[in-house]
Each structure stands twice: as C-alpha cells, then as structure tokens.
C-alpha cells in the first residue's frame, strides 16, 4: 500500500487556533510513494530534476491537460517532470486493475514518472495548499522542497512562461 508521509501537524495546529487556512504552501512536505515501475521514491529529494515539474490530476478527463503540459513544455521521456494521479481511497479496491492498465499503455520512462495515490485528495492537497480537485495543479519544486511556482488548469501562455521561468 502506498505510504504517504506528510508533515501536517503545523497546518492542523494553525487551523485549530486560527480558523481555515487558504494560503498556498511554499514547500513540499516529504512524500514517500512508489511509481508505476515499482520504484520507491522520497520526494522532494528524489524528484526527477532540480527543479522538477509535478503535475497533479484528479479525474480521468484531466489526463489531456497533463499531456498538454508535458507536450507544451517540450518534455520528452527524460524530462524533469512527474505526474501524480490522485485516485482516492475508494479506487484502492481496483488498484491492481488500474495500475496494470496504466502500465500497459505507458512506456518504461512514463511508468517511472507516474504515481498513483489511493488516498483522500486532501492528504496531499492540504499540505500543498491545493484547494480544489476541479483542475490539474502544476508545481515547480526544487529538491529542497521549495515550490517555485504553481499553475492551475490547462496550459496557457502565461502559465507556460511562469513554469519555464521557474525551471
């Protein structure tokens, strides 16, 4: 089972004493997980670049936005990016089927850059300051965890420029 370790105590404490927190996180917490190739990674230290683009998607129909970001940024199979598919706890029952299906359509390089998380979206979204699952979220993250920029939704000229500038 995927293990996601997040430092959320400070965020929970801030909510308890100060009400809702709507500020976007400025750093990525430590996250341990496995990619579709079966490799264990620990982010941010094992990100595929410094900095790296992390694209988080929540719904099947958002995959076209993920692919658009990868294409528009000019990444090949060795680009400094990873995609995280947040599938939710309910999908965990079909994990073998879902991951197997993804492995059958992704080549080895894409499998190494693809992560499926079977946890409640807020497990990752809360610590990262992501407030919605309606669109993909694109983060540029340094290996020290600093989030250099974030973009929401399909790629736009301004969004692409911001990501390129952060890289």
Q: What are the tens digits of pLDDT across the range 86-144?
A: 887 777 667 777 777 777 778 888 889 999 888 888 888 888 989 999 999 999 999 99
Residue 77 structure tokens: 């199979």
Cβ distance 131 to 38 under 8 Å? no
The percent of residues above 90 in pLDDT, for the chain, comes to 51
Higher pLDDT, 17 or 164: 164
pTM over 0.75: yes
- For residue 136, the tally of other CB atoms under 10 A from its CB is 24
Domains of the chain: 9-166 (3.40.30.10)
């Amino acid at each position: 089972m995927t293990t996601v370790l997040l430092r959320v105590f400070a965020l929970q404490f801030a909510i308890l004493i100060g009400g809702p927190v709507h500020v976007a996180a400025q750093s990525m917490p430590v996250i341990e997980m496995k990619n579709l190739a079966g490799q264990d990674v620990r982010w941010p230290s094992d990100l595929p670049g410094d900095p790296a683009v992390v694209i988080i998607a929540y719904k099947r129909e958002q995959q076209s936005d993920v692919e658009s970001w990868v294409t528009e940024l000019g990444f090949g199979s060795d680009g400094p990016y990873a995609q995280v598919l947040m599938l939710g706890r309910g999908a965990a029952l079909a994990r073998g089927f879902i991951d197997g299906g993804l492995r059958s359509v992704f080549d080895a390089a894409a499998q190494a850059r693809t992560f499926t998380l079977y946890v409640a979206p807020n497990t990752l979204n809360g610590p990262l300051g992501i407030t919605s699952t309606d669109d993909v979220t694109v983060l540029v993250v340094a290996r020290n965890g600093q989030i250099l920029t974030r973009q929401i939704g399909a790629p736009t000229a301004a969004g692409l420029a911001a990501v390129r500038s952060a890289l």
